[in-house]
Amino acid sequence: MDIDRLIKKDEVHRDVYVSEEVFGLEMDRIFGSAWIYVGHDSQIPNPGDYWTTRIGLQSVVMTRGKRDEINIFYNRCPHKGARIAEEGCGHTNGLFRCPFSTFNLDGKLRGVPYLDGYQDTSFDLTDPRFSLRKVARVAAYRGFVFASLAEDGAEFEDFLAGVKSSLDNFCDRAPEGTVSVAGGVFRVVQRSNWKIFFENLNDTGHPIATHESSYRAARQYSEEVLDGELPFELHIIDGNGAPPKFWSDLDLHAFDYGHSYMTAIFNAPDDPLSQQYFASLAAKVGGDRAEEILAVNRHNTIIYPSCSPHTSFQQWRVIRPLSVDRTLVEIFTFRLDGAPDELLQRTFTYSNVVNSPSSIVMTDDVHVYAECQKGLSTQGGDWVSQHRNAGQDQPYSGSEGGLIGVGTSELPIRNQFRAWHEYMSEGSGQSVSPEAS
């Protein structure tokens, strides 16, 4: 396939969203090589715990071994092919068992029934090909576990580069310096291509129109029922109705490999709970350091092509492509270890208001994604615009490097497609540094 014909400097061809052939190539060349988020080590605290998920279309099992090590296996019995674990979290008491074989926690085949019958055949209990197959590379940073299905490619920390600071801030906000997955997981299946969701995450051009119905409803409720008060839940929704200058004054930062982040839309309220939390953090790290940590206030960070942490409210969204026009988004909520329990309740509130399947904010977005997918499937035009502020992005002089753009620039979208182009041209692992265009 001629990848170059699908992408221009500030436009992409609609086939990148609707072609089954492009989707198949993406699963091979992007999800088959990039560092993909698999899970957090707090989901498997004890040996034998496991978390079953996907890397691209590949079912995989992340599990903790006897020596506390984390292994990630393809979810396939090497003997007959059955999956060894159902999706989700679970615990196995020292061995994985499918209907045909058993395996130790390190993936080694332990046994098959009627072993006598295998004499004088090529079946060999000690042959690695009859043990669970590990994915090529596994790496973790501060508890966040990623894997690559390719032997070669960028080193994990080079891949993270400019967004490593978001993971640091995510954890530094915890008095103990660590975070843990709390509660369950929200799952939303979107009727749209996976890239549309990523494009939206740092697109500040959309809230004022896409979320008009929800922020107007929040304001109306505040005025008519609450005498103008704006509790935290409504404050979050109201933020989407900020005027244009508010959005353009934000900063957008873009980095290698399609990553980016935007500065925060709103702060946590200055209330007794925030003060109690600050005291718990300051008690551990000192007041100056606590202020420094909380001064890093970001909205969505994008770790392309698999996840998006929200550092200020401890949300973590995982993007799992299902097919060319179906995308599963999983939303995890984290506890800041050592912080007051009430802070976790605020985190859940944020998740319920913004990310739950019944959120009146997310449903706005999901509806628009589906409309884009439907429109792109017509023959009404071949190209999709990414022109806004193209050519105006500047190198960032701060230590993180990368590019910086005005808050309403489509810099993050162009940046994602630069990485997309590099991966799809089978150039994964090489630098995909964005260049000021």
Identify which of residues 208 and 273 has a Cβ nearer to Fe ion in the complex: 208
Q: How far is the CB of 208 from Fe ion (least distance, A)?
A: 10
Identify which of residues 49 and 365 has a Cβ nearer to Fe ion in the complex: 365
Identify which of residues 365 and 410 has a Cβ nearer to Fe ion in the complex: 365
Q: How far is the CB of 207 from Fe ion (least distance, A)?
A: 6
What would the x/- binding string for Fe ion be over residues 80 to 99, using CB under 5 A?
Answer: --------------------
Q: Name the residue with the smallest CB distance to Fe ion.
A: 365
**365 belongs to the binding site for Fe ion (CB under 5 A):** yes
Please tell me the count of residues contacting Fe ion according to CB under 5 A: 1
Identify which of residues 212 and 291 has a Cβ nearer to Fe ion in the complex: 212
Stretch binding Fe ion (CB under 5 A), from 29-37, 284-292, 341-349, 357-365: 357-365
Identify which of residues 349 and 363 has a Cβ nearer to Fe ion in the complex: 363
Q: How far is the CB of 313 from Fe ion (least distance, A)?
A: 15
Identify which of residues 330 and 365 has a Cβ nearer to Fe ion in the complex: 365
Identify which of residues 90 and 205 has a Cβ nearer to Fe ion in the complex: 205
Stretch binding Fe ion (CB under 5 A), from 59-67, 256-264, 358-366, 405-413: 358-366
Stretch binding Fe ion (CB under 5 A), from 13-21, 188-196, 241-249, 362-370: 362-370
Stretch binding Fe ion (CB under 5 A), from 32-40, 68-76, 147-155, 359-367: 359-367
Stretch binding Fe ion (CB under 5 A), from 12-20, 165-173, 245-253, 365-373: 365-373
Tell me, letter by letter, the H, E, C secondary structure of the chain. Answer: CCHHHHECCCEEECHHHHCHHHHHHHHHHCCCCCCEEEEEHHHCCCCCEEEEEEECCEEEEEEECCCCCEEEEECCCCCCCCCCCCCEEEECCCEEECCCCEEECCCCEEECCCHHHHCCCCCCCCCHHHCCCECCEEEEECCEEEEECCCCCCCHHHHHHHHHHHHHHHHHCCCCCCEEEEEEEEEEEECCCHHHHHHHHCCCCCHHHHCHHHHHHHHHHHHHHCCCCCCHHHHHHHHHHCCHHHHHCCEEEECHHHCEEEECCCCCCCCHHHHHHHHHHHHHHCHHHHHHHHHCCEEEEEECCCEEEECCCCEEEEEEEEECCEEEEEEEEEEECCCCHHHHHHHHHHHHHHHCCCCCCHHHHHHHHHHHHHHHCCCCCCEEECCCCCCCCEECCCCCCCEEEECCCCHHHHHHHHHHHHHHCCCCCCCCCCCCC
Sites of contact with Fe ion (CB under 5 A): 365
